[in-house]
Amino acid sequence: MTTPELIKLTDPTNGAEALILAGYGFNCFRFRAEQEGHPIDVLWSEPDFERGDKRASGSGIPLLFPYPGRLRGRTLTWQSKTYTLEGDDRLGNAIHGFVLNRPWRVLEQSATRVVGQFHASRDDARLLAAWPADFCVTATYELAGNSLRSSFLIENPDDKPLPCGLGTHPYFRLPLGGASADDCLVRLPMRRRWELVDMLPTGNVSPVEEIEQFRAGLVFGQMSFDDVFTDLEFESHWCTARVIDPSNGSRLVVQFDDAFRECVVYTPPHRQAICIEPYTCVPNSPELYAAGVDSGLRILQPGEQFTAEAILRFTG
């Protein structure tokens, strides 16, 4: 097995670093910040993830496109045509799109910045039979001290409309260099949640009853989530969540712009991470869209595009 292409970014001011596995989904699986000369791993990933043979959706920051989350079953019917999908959530549903486990091309690279791209017709032409239109995703990671910025450009290069949604699935390691994951606090700026049946949204939403706890900080040891939230709180086009390690005062600020309108919160069974996942649409959005539900599904006309951005900031 060939080892996938690996990119390393290093900040010259403090030695913070990021590792991106370009050959396996352009996954940034390590963001190592510096706290008073001590490295702090902000992201959780399986040991030896860089070999490219681990579960693509289970480490680092998987990139999800052209659909984030689940779609009902293993096919998509769009404009009277049926497409066979990939991924398996072990409940019989397709999950997380096509780009998280495929090689991306590196377009630009410097010590602190890297740009990668996946263009379906160029990088895996088989996908043209698996989705209603061709697509092109360009992702950029930029490291500046203890901050990591990711930006995304989604383009429709086809002559047909492109239904799509983008998501990221970061695994934030807990604790943040402190003593106990269970004692960490997670602040979530979310006001409503989607009702789920068999892990798929029904189209109904309800208020978050514990909203004041969400804002003040939920204790990780008491959290058990695999939930989809909406009606997020934005300030100047940015939504902000926070992870706080009270034992050493470390904080991780998680920000994403208003291209993302939903957010999945997931607590993995291994209890070593919290996932705060911004999505531009709700899971199973094509089915909800067809039923007249405002699901966030984007339909890009030929030549259209959109952008999205997220920022991670660690402070000691």
Instruction: Determine how β-strand 190-197 pairs with β-strand 167-168.
Output: unpaired
CA dist 32 and 178 (Å) reads 15
* 80-to-77, 129, 276, 278, 289 alpha-carbon distances in Å: 6, 14, 35, 30, 15
Q: Which domains does the chain have, with CATH numbers?
A: 6-176+266-315 (2.70.98.10)
Q: Residue 95: what pLDDT?
A: 96
CB atoms within 10 A of CB 242: 17
Burial-class residue 283 by CB neighbours within 10 Å (0-12, 13-18, 19+).
buried
Q: Residue 316: what pLDDT?
A: 85
Q: Residue 1: what pLDDT?
A: 61
- Cβ proximity of 128 and 121 under 8 Å: yes
Amino acid letter for position 22: A
Q: Residue 87: what pLDDT?
A: 77
What's the average pLDDT block by block, 10 residues per block, for the chain (316 residues)?
A: 89 96 98 93 97 96 98 95 90 96 98 98 97 98 98 98 98 96 98 97 97 96 97 98 96 98 98 98 98 98 98 95
CA dist 268 and 117 (Å) reads 29
Q: Could you say which DSSP state residue 48 is in? A: T
